[in-house]
A and B are shown apart, each in its own frame.
Chain A
Amino acid sequence: MGLRIFLGLWLSAVIIFGFSLPMVAQPQHWYDLPIIPGLAEKARIIFFHVPTAWLSVLAFLSSLFYAVRYLRKKEPIDDIKSASSAGIGFLFCFLATVTGAIWAKFSWGTYWNWDPRQTSIFVLLLIYGAYFALRSAVEVEEKRASLSAVYAIIGGVTMPFFMFIMPRILASLHPEPLLNAQGKVHMNTMMLIVFLASLAGFTALYYWMWSLHVRAERIHYQRSQIHGGASRD
């Protein structure tokens, strides 16, 4: 319980600092954030939008890891972990798309303009949407687990291309990513601290959400095994 309260306080602090630190043209104090030309106050979105995209990457990689483990060991718990992680990844991928579209409306003038970033994340949503369609289409548990593990591996392998490579190959209006093409981080120190604190908080939140889901699904699975194999979904 203590850790969860700490996480709540941590994320509250991220929101407070993310909103209240002043943005000035020439930062003089440790708490000043610089005004980024063309973005102004909208630059604060980085503290909340980027962690959602980061969590989708983390969750899809975790789904890939447990999918490989399932195919090697055939333990149903690995299938539960892989599917739970893919579910959270899909949620955060969707949130990154929606929050990005809201930001685009006030920066580019339109919610959607098929920018390489938007296109690649949309394709990722389609890929993982099909993953859940596949899971719900197969009723035999073992077959469903094996097929979705293979699909999660394919999805996990293609994810870095859509998330990191495609938006960097094609010309995009999206602001420069944290780690730029030269491999350097161009960010004000205070901004970087709040951003990293947000990433750490959201990562812990992901782990908590994932473990809750896995625990619920594990109990359901164990019960279905005891009481004659009722369908999981």
Chain B
Amino acid sequence: MEVPRVTDFLAQNSLWVVLIVVLVVWGGILGYLFRIDKRLKQVEDEIRKS
């Protein structure tokens, strides 16, 4: 039995393509916020040590 490929499924159900796009955008924004959080922790550690 032939297993349908993910790309074939997405080609036929294009709303899922939009969902992937939204997840990519929010994943990027979340990654950036984690980076700022890490930076703030670094600054807080410096303040605590001094």
Contacts and interface: CB of A to CB of B under 8 A. Distances in A.
A44 B18 contact: yes
Contacts of B7: 105-106
A106 B25 CA distance: 18
A65 interface: no
A209 B18 contact: no
Contacts of B11: 106
Nearest to A105: B7
Interface string A141-156: 0000000000000000
5 contacts: A41-B18, A42-B17, A48-B22, A103-B21, A216-B40
A192 interface: no
Contacts of A217: 39
Size range of the chain A interface in the assembly:
20 to 34
Size range of the chain B interface in the assembly:
20 to 34
A48 B25 contact: yes
Interface stretch (A94-102, A130-138, A160-168, A172-180): A94-102
Ranked nearest first, the 3 interchain pairs of A and B with the lowest CB-CB distance are A41-B14, A99-B21, A95-B28
A194 interface: no
Contacts of A102: 17, 20-21, 24
B35 to A, nearest CB: 9
A91 B18 contact: no
Contacts of B28: 91-92, 94-95, 98
A40 B14 contact: yes
Given A48-B25, A91-B32, A106-B7, 5 more contacts: A41-B18, A48-B22, A94-B28, A95-B25, A106-B17
A52 B47 CA distance: 35
Nearest to A99: B21
Contact of B47 (A209, A213, A223): A223
Interface in A86-123: 88, 91-92, 94-95, 98-99, 102-103, 105-106
A72 interface: no
Contacts of A106: 7, 10-11, 14, 17
A220 B43 contact: yes
Given A98-B24, A213-B36, A223-B46, A103 B17 contact: yes
A34 to B, nearest CB: 16
B29 A209 contact: yes
A88 B25 CA distance: 13
Contacts of B22: 15, 18, 48
